[in-house]
Every structure is written in structure tokens, then in C-alpha cells.
Amino acid sequence: LRPTIVATAPIPGQKPGTSGLRKKVVEFQSPHYLNNFVQAVFNALVDFGTDVTLGGSLVVGGDGRYFNPEAIQIITKMAVANGVKRILIAKDGLLSTPAASAVIRERGPAWQKAFGAFILSASHNPGGPSEDFGIKYNIENGGPAPEKVTNAMYSYTTTLTSYKIAPDFPDVDTSKLGSTRVVSADGSRGVVVTVFDGLEEHVKLLKTIFDFEAIQTLMQRPDFSFVYDSMSGVQGPYAHKVFVEELGAATTCLLNAEPKDDFGGGHADPNLTYAHDLIHVMGVDSKGNAVAAKEGVLIPSFGAAADGDADRNMILGRQFFVTPSDSLAIIVAHADVIPFFRDQGGLRGVARSMPTSGAVDLVAKRMNMSLFETPTGWKFFGNLMDSREMGGANYTPFICGEESFGTGSDHVREKDGMWAVLAWLSILAHYNQDPKKALVSVESIVREHWRTYGRNYYVRYDYEGVDKSRAEAMVGHMTSSFAAVTGQCLAGGYTVAVADEFQYVDPVDGSVSSHQGVRYLFTDGSRVIFRLSGTAGSGATVRMYLEKYEADRSKLGSHPLEALGVLVQVALELSDLEKFTGRKEPTVIT
């Protein structure tokens, strides 16, 4: 157990982004790279009052991508050297992001409760020897480390001169469940390493939230069928447990349910471009249009997909795509069909990231709930969700969501792909209780929602792999011309009411996050937003978000690209995107 102090030097570029540190695998494999970052995390924890030597547990697991096994051994040896006494490692290293959050919050008696977790994932980024690896740290509430903590981690990476590791600590066999106690040579110190079932807590928790019987009744209807695509990420075993073992579905309902360390060469991102297997089965093309079924082929009534670390979700009906922003609004509008919310007296608060459409705002307003608009990234939701526990305002129970296929609630402190799918199945079960009536479809639920609230047409353009300095120059161009464009009337009569950069003041602790995206708010309520992604492993990804609200009930049936066509031109003009990036077309449209 004796720690060795290894001399090292700061490595540039180790700043955690929207969700942890993500880089190419080869970078993580280079000498000291992972070690430096892990030591910086331990150093930062000391500053924020977490004493890891007190006996609490450290959770370690990941999405199963390439380099996960090596990273688990390194982190274990470093945790031992930094004084951690209990280490909980998920079996085979497989632990989804929402399950990690559940494990931190739920596992074990108080005296050995977890103080945090290392989650080894680059989420939806491709995996494999030449692709991305990632690491993020979640704190004791189960959520991502807040910005002040990730800033401290980064600051340590810039000054670090050494790290601690226990090189003689035996490698952990993660394939076998159970605890091993390793005692120091003089018998004065012991460390317990437990390999645990990464599925257990999360599935147990989900069963307390949803009415599994009602969902099972829906799934047994002869006119209902579904398919779930785990995209070769970590969700496969969870999907098997929930849908096959708990709900009695056939294994043929599961696509790509075997975790692979390169996600089968795919891009484990559940959207219309990358979830090609699923959209094909569901009769939807990459623009979200319906594709006619081949003769004799039955298209399932419901389809969903997860990303690499299983915190994202995409929801599809038969030949129908549900935008994540609409999905959030519809789940919120139906929260009472979910026992978790109903039993707590109903949902009281909702939050969305700034670029997410305002569809949920309309629901919150009508249902008289508090609404919060936060910067992109799940770490900003944690404080809001915890505020009741902190004795503050009555914000919980709570649902939050992002336009990037992320939805979840305060049952954990991460977005939760399985939760979103079970929420939708609960809504469908609610509308389809009468076996004699024809099936109420996903599409009809969404259209009814639009008829009630109006429709927030929404689309996001991603320009991936852009030269970083050019992307930054584009942002600079926009921020320096805010005053000049304000009040200007552009194509289609769009007039800029406000042009600014989004800044967030956390209502719970008052911390300020600036430069969270360039916003153009138009006089008719439409919005254009630009952000540079904080999850790109290399280069820059420009995200352009467009939203236009339509209240006219006769105009609810257009394709978003049609409804937003002119606004796209306005956005390209305001940003001069083509000139700065050299790109004529986006890489992905969602």
C-alpha cells in the first residue's frame, strides 16, 4: 500500500469541458497524462472539504470504451496512495452515467457511503484506439462536479509537480463480484476493493419511480411493439435487465445490446444521423421525415436509443421523430402519470438549458411551476435539485432537460436515458389502458400537445471539426457587433430585439458563469443561438440552434427545416459562418 511519489510536470490542455476531460486515447496513454489529471482531482477535493481518507467509498466505472480497463487500474492505485479506504468498482468496469449517480446516492450504509465517482466515458464521442477517451468526476450528491470544482482541478493540472501512486497494489479482477481486503505490510492500514453489480441500484431505483406493471400491460398489447437501440454502448445490459428480465419483452426488441469498446465502429450518439439502425427500423429518414414501410414489414409503435454512457435518449414513434425539447415538455405535462411525481404531490419545478426550446416554458407557465434556464451541461442542474435538501425553496420534485437528447429528474443528479424511455412508456400506458380502443400513438400525443400549446419549431446545426481559431474568430465577430445588429430588420422581417452572451447566476449559491453562448432574440420571440461545444476531443464544433414559435393552429404541420428556412439564412448572415469556417453545410442536423 506504500505510496510512491512520482515527479511530473504540468500537461497543457487538461481543462474539463461541458462534461469532463475528453481527448484522443493516445493522449491519455501518453506518460503521466491520466495520472496528472486524477491527482489534480484529489487535490481539488481537499480544497473543497472532501476528506477521502475518512473511510467513505470511491466509485469507479465507465461506458466500456477502449482504455477503460487500464484506467480503472491506474485510478485504483492512485486512490489507494491518496488514502482512500474503500473502492467500489463496477463489474467489468461497466457503469452507466445515471447508474453511477444512483450508486453514489444509494449504495451502502452511511459510514461507507460514497464521496464521489470517477466515470470513464467520453459519452457520445466515438471510441477505440484512435478515437476518444474521457474522464469525469461526480461529487457526493451524485452529480457532476460543479464549475468551481472543475476550475480548481484544471488549475492544479497547470502547477502539478508530482502525483501519488501505490504501484504494488494488486491489479483488480473486475470480472468477479465480491470484496477483497488488502492490508499493508506492517498491518497498520487496510483497503477494501469491492467489485459490484453496476445494474442493481439503478434498476431498483427505477422500479420505485415507475409503475412497471402498467408498462408491462402496455407492452403486452398485441397492437404495441417496441425496439430499443443501445448503440453498442453501456446501456445494453441495463436494457436487457429492464425490458427482458423485468418487463418480459423479447430479446429481439433490443438492438446493439452488447457493449463494445469501440461501439462497433459507430458513433454512439442517439440522433437522426448516427442512430441509423434504429431510424431505419422506425421508418424515419435522417431529416426526420416518414419513410413508407416495405410491404409486409411492421414498423414498431415505439423506438428509442441511448448514447455510449446511457444518459441520452432519442424517442421515436412509428415513422415519427420527437424532438428532445418537445419530449421534455410532454413528459413535464404528463408528470402526474409517473408515481414518483404523483406521490410527492406533483411536479413543482423544471429546468432547461438555455439553447433548449421554450416548449417546456409554456407547460411550466400553465401548470404554475418554477422554471429555470441554465447554461448547457448537467452540472448546472444539481444545485437547483438539491435546494430543498439544503432547506431552501420548494423546487423539488424536479425535471430537467436539454435539447441534446438529455432528460432526467431529481431521482439522480445526471440525465438518464432509461428514465426518459420509461417516462414515455408510462405516458403511452396511461393513454392505452383500454384494450378495446385503438392504440394512441406517439405521434398523436405530440400533435395533441402542439394543438394545446402551439409548436416550437426547432433545429440544431452542428459543424464538427472546424479549426479552433477560426471558430473563435467567428464568436469574436458576433460579440463585437451586438450593438450594431440590435434593432436591425433582417431577411423575413426578423428584427433583433436583444443580442448578447448568456450569463448565468446560480440562484442557490450565487456563482456566476459567463460566456455561455451568443444569443439573438428576435421581436417575434424567435431565437438564434451559437455555442462552441465543450465536449469535442479535438478541433472545434460550432453549434447553431434555431427556434421559432408558432401559435397558429393551421401551421403546426410543417417540417422544421421549412419553417426555419429563413431563420437559417438570418443566422448565417449574423455569424458570417461560411466566411469564418469555410463550411457550406453542417455535419449533423438534429
Total Cβ atoms within 10 A of residue 155: 15
From the list ligand VG1, Co ion, none, partner contacted by residue 494 (C-beta under 5 to 8 A by kind): none
**539 φ/ψ sector (left φ>0, alpha ψ -120 to 50, else beta):** left
From the list ligand VG1, Co ion, none, partner contacted by residue 126 (C-beta under 5 to 8 A by kind): none
Q: What is the footprint of Co ion within residues 166-185 (CB under 5 A)?
A: none
CA distance 37 to 30: 12
Cα–Cα separations (whole angstroms), residue 264 to 128, 209, 233, 281, 344: 9, 32, 9, 18, 42
From the list ligand VG1, Co ion, none, partner contacted by residue 18 (C-beta under 5 to 8 A by kind): ligand VG1
Are 119 and 95 in contact by the 8 Å Cβ rule? The answer is yes
Q: Which three-class secondary structure state does DSSP give residue 356? A: coil
Q: Rounded to the nearest 10 degrees, what angle do helices 468-479 and 565-575 cross at? A: 100
CA distance 586 to 465: 11
Q: Which is nearer to Co ion, 405 or 494 (CB)?
A: 405
Kindly state whether residue 124 participates in binding ligand VG1, applying the rule CB under 6 A: yes
Question: What's the closest the beta carbon of residue 73 comes to Co ion, in angstroms?
Answer: 24
Provide the b/e sequence for 547-575 (b: ≥16 CB within 10 Å): bbbbeeeeeeeeebeebbebbbebbbebb
Residue with cell 429528474: 409
Residue number with the shortest CB distance to ligand VG1? 123
Q: Which of 377, 397, 401, 560 binds ligand VG1 (CB under 6 A)?
A: 377
The residue annotated as part of the active site, out of 123, 301, 357, 409, is: 123
Are 279 and 288 in contact by the 8 Å Cβ rule? The answer is no
Kindly state whether residue 241 participates in binding ligand VG1, applying the rule CB under 6 A: no
Question: What's the closest the beta carbon of residue 59 comes to Co ion, in angstroms?
Answer: 17
Candidate segments 249-257, 306-314, 455-463, 480-488, binder of Co ion by CB under 5 A: 306-314
Cα–Cα separations (whole angstroms), residue 41 to 207, 324, 551, 570: 34, 33, 49, 43
Contact flags string 9-48 toward Co ion, x per CB under 5 A? ----------------------------------------
From the list Co ion, ligand VG1, none, partner contacted by residue 377 (C-beta under 5 to 8 A by kind): ligand VG1
- 121 labelled catalytic: no
Kindly state whether residue 382 participates in binding ligand VG1, applying the rule CB under 6 A: no
Question: What's the closest the beta carbon of residue 9 comes to ligand VG1, in angstroms?
Answer: 29
Q: Residue type for 93, please?
A: G
From the list ligand VG1, Co ion, none, partner contacted by residue 533 (C-beta under 5 to 8 A by kind): ligand VG1
Q: Which is nearer to ligand VG1, 501 or 550 (CB)?
A: 501
Q: What is the footprint of Co ion within residues 117-136 (CB under 5 A)?
A: 123
CA distance 238 to 234: 8
Q: Rounded to the nearest 10 degrees, what angle do helices 417-431 and 324-333 cross at? A: 60
Q: Which is nearer to Co ion, 358 or 417 (CB)?
A: 417
Q: Which is nearer to Co ion, 283 or 417 (CB)?
A: 417
Q: What is the DSSP string of 374-396?
A: E-SSGGGHHHHHHTTTTT-----
What's the CA angle centered on 274, arms 269 and 275, to 5 degrees?
85
Which residues, other chains included, contact 298 with Cβ-Cβ below 8 Å and sequence gap of 6+?
225
Residue with cell 482531482: 41
Kindly state whether residue 492 participates in binding ligand VG1, applying the rule CB under 6 A: no
Are 238 and 257 in contact by the 8 Å Cβ rule? The answer is no
CA distance 72 to 58: 12
Question: What's the closest the beta carbon of residue 415 comes to ligand VG1, in angstroms?
Answer: 7
CA distance 517 to 588: 19
Kindly state whether residue 456 participates in binding ligand VG1, applying the rule CB under 6 A: no
Q: What is the DSSP string of 264-313?
A: GGS----STTT-HHHHHHHTB-TTS-B-PPPTTPPPPSEEEEE-TTS-BE
Q: Which of 307, 361, 506, 547 binds Co ion (CB under 5 A)?
A: 307
CA distance 252 to 335: 30
* Long-range contact set of residues 47-53: C-beta below 8 Å, sequence gap at least 24: 47/152, 48/148, 48/149, 48/152, 50/115, 50/116, 50/139, 50/140, 52/79, 52/82, 52/83, 52/84, 52/115, 53/82, 53/83, 53/84, 53/85
Q: Which of 92, 309, 402, 416 binds Co ion (CB under 5 A)?
A: 309
Q: What is the footprint of ligand VG1 within residues 391-450 (CB under 6 A)?
A: 402, 404, 406
Q: What is the footprint of ligand VG1 within residues 503-562 (CB under 6 A)?
A: 533-535, 543
Q: What is the footprint of ligand VG1 within residues 20-39 (CB under 6 A)?
A: none
- Integer Rg of the chain from CA: 24
Contact flags string 245-264 toward Co ion, x per CB under 5 A? --------------------
Question: What's the closest the beta carbon of residue 536 comes to ligand VG1, in angstroms?
Answer: 6
Question: What's the closest the beta carbon of residue 454 comes to ligand VG1, in angstroms?
Answer: 24
Q: What is the footprint of ligand VG1 within residues 300-359 (CB under 6 A)?
A: 307, 311-312, 353
Question: What's the closest the beta carbon of residue 577 comes to Co ion, in angstroms?
Answer: 27
Q: Which is nearer to ligand VG1, 240 or 312 (CB)?
A: 312
Q: Which is nearer to ligand VG1, 201 or 402 (CB)?
A: 402
Q: Which of 376, 396, 407, 441 binds ligand VG1 (CB under 6 A)?
A: 376
Q: Which of 14, 19, 301, 357 binds ligand VG1 (CB under 6 A)?
A: 19
Question: What's the closest the beta carbon of residue 231 comes to Co ion, in angstroms?
Answer: 11
Question: What's the closest the beta carbon of residue 147 comes to Co ion, in angstroms?
Answer: 19
Question: What's the closest the beta carbon of residue 293 comes to ligand VG1, in angstroms?
Answer: 31
Beta bridge partners of 333: none
The burial of 292, by beta-carbon neighbours within 10 Å (0-12 exposed, 13-18 middle, 19 or more buried), is given as exposed
Candidate segments 187-195, 215-223, 325-333, 375-383, binder of ligand VG1 by CB under 6 A: 375-383
From the list ligand VG1, Co ion, none, partner contacted by residue 534 (C-beta under 5 to 8 A by kind): ligand VG1
Kindly state whether residue 96 participates in binding ligand VG1, applying the rule CB under 6 A: no
Question: What's the closest the beta carbon of residue 234 comes to Co ion, in angstroms?
Answer: 10
Kindly state whether residue 101 participates in binding ligand VG1, applying the rule CB under 6 A: no
Query: Would you please indicate which residues are annotated as catalytic (active-site) residues?
Result: 123
Contacting positions for Co ion (CB under 5 A): 123, 307, 309, 311-312
Contacting positions for ligand VG1 (CB under 6 A): 18-19, 123-124, 307, 311-312, 353, 376-378, 402, 404, 406, 533-535, 543
